[in-house]
Amino acid sequence: MSVPYFDAASAEPLHPRARDALLAALDDGWADPARLHREGRRARLLLDRARESVAAELGARPDELSFTTSGTQAVHLAVLGAVQARQSAARGPGHVVTSAVEHSSVLNAADWLARRSGTEVTTTGVDRLGRADVGAFAEALRQDRTLLACLQTANHEVATIQPVADVIEACARRGVPLLVDAAASVGWLPVPAGWSLLAASARKWGGPAGVGILAVSKGVRWREPLPADDRENHRVPGFPNVPAVLAAAEALSAARGERGVSSGALRAHTDRIRAAVPELVPDSVVHGDPDQRLPHIVTFSCLYVDGEALVTELDRAGFSVSSGSACVSDTRQPSHVLAAMGVLTHGNVRVSLLGDATSQSVEEFLDVLPPIVARVRETVRATSAT
């Protein structure tokens, strides 16, 4: 019996084909790919093949693409390298534009620049569905001052697909490079053409943790923000994890084949949850764009319950979900995505399905959810009355 693991957007098990590739590469790809001997050449060949295969999937040239040690590192290198390459005495510390619902790695990198070098950061708003406001984003771009703009392809918490093509056009008109963070959508949607820099994470497509993707388009200025060596096109210092990279490439090629097939069924499952939760659970609200969205993620909030209790009770009932509620985070801050959307942050549940999720597990979830919410509501009420 399969476990109803509903937190695929946080992490998913290594794809079986990636697991096989990883085990084989531990034997074949252990040597230093920078060396000229037989073992080194073999590792180099495997690494180059993986690079070609991933680049082709993402619409990049192999020499534009570097493997990093995580998606977060890819974003950090992309943001810092692009901004620092364009900072100058004339421009000063410059200006960066992001949407308010970017992944924390983007917001943290922008904030780091603001604190370290005085870079001005404009965070533009989203609508109630979490969709970036193209007009506000375009208006924030300043031809001679904005050094970088950042936009995700789709949101990792509420699944809403962003108007990337429109923002690419706006950035091109003003000559501002755009970092496209494709981490949430790679494997589900084709990467939109026209990015200046691209970031992604293998873990999100069924690959191993510890492999991220940084692509810098030909002609886009970028300067290494860390002490460089000759690895990964001088972009990512340190010995590359060749076996993990091979597994990542294998997982991506598997995902492309399988996700095309599974996305119809997953969309039906998340449609079902979107429709059923407001009917079954009084005072609940479903978030994100109902149409323009990733197929496997659905997020909702239930009034008058705390997210931590909800996650714990669902776990006890056998369902693994995540939550953007403040009580679930280390910092006790609610999800910045839900806050930017202006929607309820407490009692929040994110369901993100693996490719083989069944309608039976979805129906079982919908069976256990209403009594759990009712029970937590009673408990919270009893505590608050004191």
Partner 1 sequence: MTTPQRAGAGALSPAPVLTLDALGKKCPIPIIMLADRIRDVQVGQHIAVLADDPAAKTDLPAWCALKSQEFVRTDELPVRMDGVGAPHRAWSFLVRRSY
Give me the active site residues, please. Answer: 327
Rounded to whole angstroms, how far apart are CA atoms 248 and 208?
Answer: 6
> For partner 1, how many residues bind (rule: CB under 8 A)?
24
Choices 83-91, 257-265, 321-329, 365-373; region in contact with partner 1 by CB under 8 A: 321-329
Q: Counting contacts by CB under 8 A, is residue 306 touching partner 1?
A: yes
Interface with partner 1 (CB under 8 A), residue from 34, 339, 366, 368: 339
Structure tokens of 222?
Answer: 């970028």
In residues, how long is the chain?
386
3-state secondary structure of 330: coil
Q: Give min distance, CB of 344 to partner 1, in A.
A: 4
Residue 333 binding partner 1, by CB under 8 A: yes
Residue with smaller CB distance to partner 1, 34 or 339: 339
Break the chain down into helix, strand, coil percent, rounded to 5.
45, 15, 40
Cα 319–chain centre separation:
22
The pair of structure tokens assigned to 39 is 């073992």
Collapsed DSSP state (helix, strand, coil) of residue 146: strand
Q: Does 101 bind partner 1 (CB under 8 A)?
A: no
Choose which of 55, 74, 159, 343 interacts with partner 1 (CB under 8 A).
Answer: 343
Under 8 Å between Cβ of 356 and 269: no
Of 114 and 228, the one with the shorter C-beta distance to partner 1 is 114
Residue found under tokens 């790695």: 105
* Residues from 235 through 294 that contact partner 1 (CB under 8 A): 283, 285
Among positions 177, 295, 334, 355, the unique one binding partner 1 when judged by CB under 8 A: 334
Q: d(Cα 224, Cα 365) in Å, to the nearest integer?
A: 47
Using the rule CB under 8 A, is 26 a contact of partner 1? no
| Residue 334, H or E segment | none
Q: How far is the CB of 323 from partner 1 (least distance, A)?
A: 12
Q: Which residues bind partner 1 (CB under 8 A)?
A: 283, 285, 303-306, 325-327, 332-334, 338-339, 342-347, 380-381, 383-384
